[in-house]
Copies of this chain bind each other. A is one copy, B any other.
């Protein structure tokens, strides 16, 4: 039996069936019945850039590959439906795993996350080659009755809210992605959100993207930014401050939201989701990214952040 048929056989025994799929693995394409509009995102992870296959458990790599895609659906406040997984596997496998075993490990990392968020792995493509491991996932969700949460809806006066704590993800959280799907859906349902993005490339850079897409500027209050323990740990060895890590490190996968002021006040008071949510600034009329120090002074903030390898 071929590697792809063996993997499909394994998947059929290990995947929960979702009613949405009339035609699943084994036809030319999958057919999805969607209630809302389709929300589609795709992210490719490659060895040496997004993970080191030699150093990391393949299950963590699989988890991350699905997690970053789900995080993009969370940023749109879309309900996840399906994921499509394409693998380019090194022909020789790894030191300990054949290509098939490697593929199964990757899927075993995806499945718990898929189940947690009601995602069906509905198709994919499995290849071996002389190259290194590359994983491309396309995730499909559907909009809720409130529609998609865009980057472009922020208005001057809106508050900047962020979930969780930021910085230092390289110490582990960049692999252990927890996509804020349920949080995004709950907030989008209960509150009036104007715009949103997930922090994948660093708070400063993604804040600046959110502002630009909304034709606004944005002011971040330095003393309000929730800094993760990992950012403190990391600052011991990097010579950067914990705040610099919180502003510039990538792969936090937290939500950054634009919320009208009254609504933001209620939301912050209620703390309605399992993870903390903090107000860290405000959108303003004049463009650009600004930092506000504790004394109230404003100065330009450089939108540094994780630039993808492709960007350099």
Contacts and interface: CB of A to CB of B under 8 A. Distances in A.
A115 to B, nearest CB: 20
A168 to B, nearest CB: 23
Interface in A131-151: 131-132, 134, 136, 138, 140-141, 143, 148, 150-151
A48 B150 contact: no
A40 interface: yes
Contact of A39 (B31, B124, B128): B31
Contacts of A39: 29-32
A143 B33 CA distance: 10
Given A27-B150, A44-B86, A72-B28, A38 B308 contact: no
15 contacts: A4-B311, A23-B150, A27-B76, A28-B151, A30-B39, A32-B39, A34-B38, A41-B123, A46-B131, A48-B131, A84-B138, A86-B136, A127-B308, A127-B310, A138-B138
A62 B128 CA distance: 20
Nearest to A7: B310
A18 interface: no
Interface of A: 2-5, 22-23, 26-34, 37-44, 46-49, 72-73, 75-76, 78, 82, 84-89, 91, 99, 122-132, 134, 136, 138, 140-141, 143, 148, 150-152, 197-198, 213, 307-312
A309 B99 CA distance: 11
Residue among A29, A43, A78, A143 facing the most chain B CB atoms (10 A cut-off): A29
A131 B128 contact: no
B311 A49 contact: no
A88 B46 contact: yes
B42 A140 contact: no
Contact of A46 (B42, B44, B127, B150): B127
Contacts of A38: 31-32, 34, 38, 140
3 tightest Cβ-Cβ pairs between the two chains A and B: A2-B311, A136-B136, A29-B41
